[in-house]
Amino acid sequence: MLAPKVTVFSELTLTARPDAGTGSPAAPGFNAEVERIVIRYDQSDYFKVSFGRFHTPINWWNTTYHHGQWLQTTAARPEMVQFGGRFIPVHFVGGLIEGAVPAGGLHLNYNVGVGNGRGSLISRGGDAGDINNNRAWLVNLFVKPDRLFGLQAGGSLYRDKIAVGARAFDEWISSGHVVWAKENPEFIAEFANVNHTETGRPGSFNSQAFYVQLGYRLPEFDQRWKPYYRWEYIHIPSSDPVFAGVPGLAGSTVGLRYDITTFSAIKVEYRNQRRPGLPRINGAVVQTSFTF
């Protein structure tokens, strides 16, 4: 805290990579990255102003679960919001105005932002500046009703102009979510449509992604066991030059989480995935996670 109404927050990650070091061949090691760094002025609950590098607030999962995997039920994020993925811009560099108003018990929350948008690599935000003279902007609205505590529902709109080589595209992302955050049961559903239209040429391309996740913390055994299931789907038109090489997906995840203590958990998952033109993949994942 810098002052009574001014705070600074940062999140740093260290990622093990086989090619983290410099030189030829690249040496294994750890890559350090500032995932989030935000300075915020809180005038009141109704009005807050922030500047920095954010997780883009156009997706519920992306702003609720950050890099600490203990926080989320599953071992991995849905593919539409994977770090390093290209479907939606996971990071956003710029300014954000946010707040919440009672709205007759609905508790209407809002986010309005202007920033750099995607970088020259569309999987990354424009950390060093925008790649053109068109800023990205976003609007996010959602409600958290008093009478249905644990429910959140809302939608977002994101606008940017991006470049792929020498070609320019208008990008519109519209998304929506419905979440029941209590664990008996847990229900999370999100959908996003990404529209690309090339400047000066007719026609446009629409890509869709969604997932639905269900979980239930069993009342027995001190509520330590939580089975869950997630279905996710991504459709990418083969003719979309912006998402060329981005794979589609139809997949299921069935898992069981066991909370060893209040601060540590083991997750065991079975995954069944199918991608266009490739054979179906079956796999198992075991993850340990903890917080402190």
Q: What is the mean pLDDT of residues 184-194?
A: 97
Query: What's the whole-model pTM score?
Result: 0.92
- The partner residues of 9 in beta bridges, in order of sequence, read 38
Instruction: Assess contact for 26 and 20: CB atoms under 8 A.
Output: yes
Average pLDDT, the chain: 93
Q: Is it the case that residue 201 has pLDDT exceeding 90? A: no
**Between 93 and 133, the higher pLDDT residue:** 93
Name the class of domain 69-290: mainly beta
Where exactly are the structural domains of the chain? 69-290
Would you state the pLDDT for residue 188?
98
Q: How confident is the model at residue 279 (pLDDT cuts 50, 70, 90)?
A: very high
- Residues whose CB falls within 8 Å of the CB of residue 165, separated by 6 or more in sequence, listed in order: none
In this predicted structure, the answer to whether residue 229 has a pLDDT above a threshold of 80 is yes
**Straight-line distance from the first to the last Cα atom of the chain, in angstroms, rounded to the nearest whole number:** 21
Mean local confidence (pLDDT), 81-99: 95
Contact residues for 163 (Cβ-Cβ < 8 A; gap 6+):
120, 131, 132, 169
Local structure of residue 103 (DSSP, 8 states): G
- Report the sign of the C-alpha dihedral through residues 150, 67, 117, 162, in that order: negative
Looking at the predicted structure, is the pLDDT value of residue 190 above 90? yes
Residue type, 207: S
Cα–Cα dist 173/81, whole Å: 13
Give 200's pLDDT tier (boundaries 50, 70, 90): confident
